A and B are shown apart, each in its own frame.
Chain A
């Protein structure tokens, strides 16, 4: 309990950290909730582990090899594209909040920004980044 007190006292000094305190509590509760549920079910449920039961499910037939094989590279390509465009979206947040203040000059700058991204976008589409069948 003393630990919590000191935590709270620190938080009062630092306004922003205090604001995030509820989130910390939520995390603790979420962990507690999941742990309780899983723990409870482990207590109540049966524990009969056989080697067949612990095998990986593959619709009834014996499973072949390791599942951790190389995946189609397309998924990773999507992930890389996402990183690029997500950065763009993130940059929009501050703009969306302040753009009235920035006015038309800001608007043209954001248009330039969007156009630059669209150029890259057209490029990847044309290059067949989203083509799943060759």
Chain B
């Protein structure tokens, strides 16, 4: 409960900070302090110290996994604000800096609901609380037509997917007579209404797949990620997307393992389609930002393995994946935000002029590819391992397909590295300070540290 309460209070505090002061630095510092308090409150909650309890009639079910994910998401947000906070305050003529942070906090409260819901209604509420601030953030650059277009597109598509989600929830309610997912055992469904339950589940699946941009429902992703201000793309593509997977895992974790064979056929199809669309289209992109949008689709394909496997390994994997992917993406977008030209050609010769930027960027890109000694390797490794643990030799083909696509992804990630190191050019880079460099190094260090000792994160998980 701490996470939900404190994130909302943080949002309100940010709103009022915007009234009291217009100083961007002050606003950013308040946001950082509020976020640290939120992080600490959530960590305390995880250990059962100082946790606030409010009767929710079983609608929320706080488990260590969800709370732990909260911690990771908030830590990632903290890193995000530390490195890109200054850029956030510049968006939209810099008039609404505090509001942007407030919206981020509200989004975080949505995440806290998603990671602990036990009732489908709360799933709906959480997804909405998480998404609605994003629609505004996407349109944060008010005078930019592309940003507006992206915002409207995201909003329309998002509302549509919400409609599907509600329809699915309604059908599941019809089948079970209740919203509580912990009470939804397949055996509890009488044969008469048997069809409602899978149908509703598929609709809910579609809606959440939309939120995490899995393949047939990914069409909004490139435009929205491309149109919205880069800093917010970075927030959307990492923390929000990972939260969508937690929603998935919580939903399917409970009872749907027994749902039957058909489910195990649909999901691999979605995964392969996602990997295919993400990786193949990313190859043809000239803009790094758009390439990252497609690559985020591809990464979503990998993360879907956790939903497919649904075992402890998968849960560990999704946590590592969240951290690895978030840290790398936040870093790449932080560098991207500093580039004047975000096309591939804009990166030409970056290594000569700004060696630090190029070096850290390389580490992040390697991590996204999944090269050993970076966090991304273990993220993918855990994912594939969990699938093998689940299905043994019957799913070997799936693992092979995944590895092939990982190899393909290396092509477009390496193109950026190639541009930075092996091409000559005169990249224009906006001014950045020492603090920014320091944060980049920290992010790179985290990436490598997890790449060598992935169990750091998991040890905390099991205490």
Contact = CB atoms under 8 A, between A and B. Distances in A.
- Asked if A and B touch directly (CB within 8 angstroms), the answer is yes
A119 B12 CA distance: 8
Contacts of B15: 123
A126 B19 contact: yes
A119 B9 CA distance: 11
B16 interface: yes
Contacts of A127: 19
Interface in A89-130: 119, 123, 126-127
B271 to A, nearest CB: 42
B106 to A, nearest CB: 13
Interface string A35-76: 000000000000000000000000000000000000000000
Nearest to B8: A116
Nearest to A126: B19
A87 B55 CA distance: 23
Nearest to B96: A127
Interface in B8-29: 12, 15-16, 19
Interface residues of A, number: 4
Contacts of A123: 15-16, 19
B22 to A, nearest CB: 12
A127 B15 CA distance: 10
Contacts of B16: 119, 123
A106 to B, nearest CB: 15
A119 B11 CA distance: 12
B342 to A, nearest CB: 33
A116 B202 CA distance: 38
Contacts of B12: 119
A130 to B, nearest CB: 14
Nearest to B102: A123
Nearest to B15: A123
A116 B243 CA distance: 27
A134 to B, nearest CB: 14
Nearest to B18: A127
Interface in A4-38: none
B55 to A, nearest CB: 13
A123 B12 CA distance: 9
A123 B19 CA distance: 8
Contacts of A119: 12, 16
A102 to B, nearest CB: 15
Nearest to A123: B15
A36 to B, nearest CB: 44
B283 to A, nearest CB: 44
A41 to B, nearest CB: 46
B195 to A, nearest CB: 32
B1 to A, nearest CB: 15
Nearest to A119: B12
B170 to A, nearest CB: 23
A80 B460 CA distance: 46
Nearest to A125: B19
B133 to A, nearest CB: 15
A108 to B, nearest CB: 14
A123 B15 CA distance: 7
A56 to B, nearest CB: 34
A50 B15 CA distance: 58
Contacts of A126: 19
A30 B146 CA distance: 52
Contacts of B19: 123, 126-127
B416 to A, nearest CB: 41
A41 B15 CA distance: 58
B202 to A, nearest CB: 34
Nearest to B20: A126
B213 to A, nearest CB: 30
A119 B15 CA distance: 10
A73 to B, nearest CB: 13
A121 B435 CA distance: 38
B105 to A, nearest CB: 14
Interface string B395-424: 000000000000000000000000000000
Nearest to B16: A123
A80 B19 CA distance: 21
Nearest to B99: A127
B16 to A, nearest CB: 7
7 contacts: A119-B12, A119-B16, A123-B15, A123-B16, A123-B19, A126-B19, A127-B19
7 closest residue pairs by CB, A with B:
A126-B19, A123-B15, A119-B12, A123-B16, A123-B19, A127-B19, A119-B16
